[in-house]
Chains A and B, each alone.
Chain A
């Protein structure tokens, strides 16, 4: 799976949680999930669970804490599915 494909899937997973739908349309690696997309911080838990299901991976709490941007998520997922 290419980085672009992963990124596209990540954006789709985050979509329903994002309050700022406009920012979603131009989302890229630098987009901050909480600040730019206005995702409620408590819901990051659910976003990570969706990553696990979609990519068939397991994300440790410490790894989850390192996810701030869309790019962070792509990096993490890419490393896990290696």
Chain B
């Protein structure tokens, strides 16, 4: 029998709120964190809107030592704040200086899509090209290596189990959570800090602008620029930030009387192999449906039990295909389709952090019994008109909310899907 895995802590650094309380409030009120971005404007981007967490440097200065801060770019700061908050939210104190204890039962999988490019763009390339390699200093490698954030977190929290960073483009954050769940299920760890982080840098976003996949039609009204499922969706808005979940075996959580947010019933990841319509940048629709079905099967639930779909839904032309894929995979027509919405409508697309940022939204909704609005799609895309009734344009109080599925799809034709269920006293005992 599989060991059950629950979420007992969360940390969030999002464009529309840092900390669970602020994020929860922003989600409930449909508050956008998207703003005009001057760096993008100066660099002549076609899209000049982005989502950047506000006030994270001040928090980082409170949390971390001076010598640590000198080695932490935006991706590190976001990720380390989220991890520290998840740790303390789970009821653990951050280790005091000089404390030599190692938590052998706890690890971290904190991934990133492109993190560290701000350091590459601002320091590495200009200095190397100018022949100033010896002036790069000692902190460069740890800021550009893919595992830099999980490595930093492991030192800050004295983690002794598996510590690594996954990377699967825009499904990174969801995949990290699934990987952590599997490790705990397998009995190899009791606690895992899992999530994703993505820095705030126009260098990260530049390639997407050149691909013409960023929205260039709403620069004058940033809060309306991210328009998933809308007829006037014109591409995604780049976001940034980090979210980390403190996953724990149910046994361990119960033994220490931990507060439990939700259970991760199951999930799945796969790849479309760039076949059957899939490519580096487009999902194979067959693989998307397989991933969803496998996740539901792994969770051991009937598709009819799904109350809410927190979609990948980025506001590109792929949205209608995603909605159709959900319908087919769950075998649920428009007349009995679950609620479907997009957290990206408020925070933009956090790339490697997206899955984790949105997973925290799912968990807060399960905890609070509500569904946040999917903003900016009053004009539902004509191809998904029949599903229009399933899209919440306003906050929906939903005390009976039990089950949310969360998907993430990424470049490389990769998919991830997670199933969360509200925790309650009525949950079957171990």
Query: How far is the CB of B396 from the nearest CB of chain A, in Å?
Result: 49
Q: Mark B45-85, 1 if CB is under 8 A from A, else 0.
A: 00000000000000000000111001000000000000000
Residues of the B chain whose Cβ atoms lie less than 8 Å from the Cβ of A40: 67
Known: A17-B67, A19-B65. A46 touches B139 (CB 8 A): yes
Residues of the A chain whose Cβ atoms lie less than 8 Å from the Cβ of B135: 49
Query: How far is the CB of B57 from the nearest CB of chain A, in Å?
Result: 16
Query: How far is the CB of B60 from the nearest CB of chain A, in Å?
Result: 14
Closest residue of chain A to B97 (Cβ to Cβ) is A19
A16 and B138 within 8 A (CB): no
B138 and A46 within 8 A (CB): yes
Residues of the A chain whose Cβ atoms lie less than 8 Å from the Cβ of B139: 43, 46
B66 and A43 within 8 A (CB): no
Pick from B65, B97, B138: contact of A42, CB under 8 Å: B138
User: Bound state CA distance, A5 and B135, in angstroms?
Assistant: 25
Pick from A16, A18, A19: contact of B70, CB under 8 Å: A16
Interface size class of B (residues with CB under 8 A): under 10
User: Bound state CA distance, A19 and B66, in angstroms?
Assistant: 9
Residue among B66, B67, B135 with the highest chain A CB neighbour number at 10 A: B67
Residues of the B chain whose Cβ atoms lie less than 8 Å from the Cβ of A18: 67
Closest residue of chain B to A17 (Cβ to Cβ) is B67
Cβ of B428 within 8 Å of any chain A Cβ, yes or no, is no
In the complex, which residues 23-82 of chain A have their Cβ closer than 8 Å to any Cβ of chain B? 39-40, 42-46, 49
Query: How far is the CB of A15 from the nearest CB of chain B, in Å?
Result: 8
User: Bound state CA distance, A49 and B67, in angstroms?
Assistant: 15
The B interface is mostly helix, strand or loop, or mixed, namely loop
Closest residue of chain B to A46 (Cβ to Cβ) is B137
User: Bound state CA distance, A15 and B135, in angstroms?
Assistant: 20
In the complex, which residues 104-156 of chain B have their Cβ closer than 8 Å to any Cβ of chain A? 135, 137-139
Closest residue of chain A to B66 (Cβ to Cβ) is A16
User: Bound state CA distance, A19 and B409, in angstroms?
Assistant: 43
User: Bound state CA distance, A51 and B65, in angstroms?
Assistant: 21
Q: How many residues on A have C-beta within 8 angstroms of the other chain's C-beta atoms?
A: 13
Query: How far is the CB of B61 from the nearest CB of chain A, in Å?
Result: 12
Query: How far is the CB of A81 from the nearest CB of chain B, in Å?
Result: 19
A43 and B65 within 8 A (CB): no
Closest residue of chain B to A18 (Cβ to Cβ) is B67
User: Bound state CA distance, A43 and B137, in angstroms?
Assistant: 8
User: Bound state CA distance, A19 and B65, in angstroms?
Assistant: 8
Query: How far is the CB of A82 from the nearest CB of chain B, in Å?
Result: 23
Query: How far is the CB of B133 from the nearest CB of chain A, in Å?
Result: 12
Query: How far is the CB of B212 from the nearest CB of chain A, in Å?
Result: 41
A46 and B70 within 8 A (CB): yes
Q: Mark A1-27, 1 if CB is under 8 A from B, else 0.
A: 000000000000001111100000000
User: Bound state CA distance, A42 and B65, in angstroms?
Assistant: 16
Known: A16-B66, A19-B67, A40-B67. A45 touches B137 (CB 8 A): yes
Query: How far is the CB of B300 from the nearest CB of chain A, in Å?
Result: 48
Residues of the B chain whose Cβ atoms lie less than 8 Å from the Cβ of A46: 70, 137-139
User: Bound state CA distance, A38 and B141, in angstroms?
Assistant: 21
Closest residue of chain A to B98 (Cβ to Cβ) is A19
Closest residue of chain B to A50 (Cβ to Cβ) is B137
Query: How far is the CB of B143 from the nearest CB of chain A, in Å?
Result: 13
B97 and A43 within 8 A (CB): no
User: Bound state CA distance, A16 and B64, in angstroms?
Assistant: 12
User: Bound state CA distance, A17 and B138, in angstroms?
Assistant: 12
Query: How far is the CB of B145 from the nearest CB of chain A, in Å?
Result: 14
User: Bound state CA distance, A40 and B137, in angstroms?
Assistant: 13
Query: How far is the CB of B91 from the nearest CB of chain A, in Å?
Result: 27
Query: How far is the CB of B35 from the nearest CB of chain A, in Å?
Result: 31
Residues of the A chain whose Cβ atoms lie less than 8 Å from the Cβ of B66: 15-17
A45 and B97 within 8 A (CB): no
- Interface pairs (24), CB distance under 8 Å: A15-B66, A16-B66, A16-B67, A16-B70, A17-B66, A17-B67, A17-B70, A18-B67, A19-B65, A19-B67, A39-B67, A40-B67, A42-B138, A43-B67, A43-B138, A43-B139, A44-B138, A45-B137, A45-B138, A46-B70, A46-B137, A46-B138, A46-B139, A49-B135
Add 10 more A-B contacts to A16-B67, A39-B67, A43-B67 (CB < 8 A).
Answer: A15-B66, A16-B70, A18-B67, A19-B97, A40-B67, A42-B138, A46-B70, A46-B137, A46-B138, A49-B137
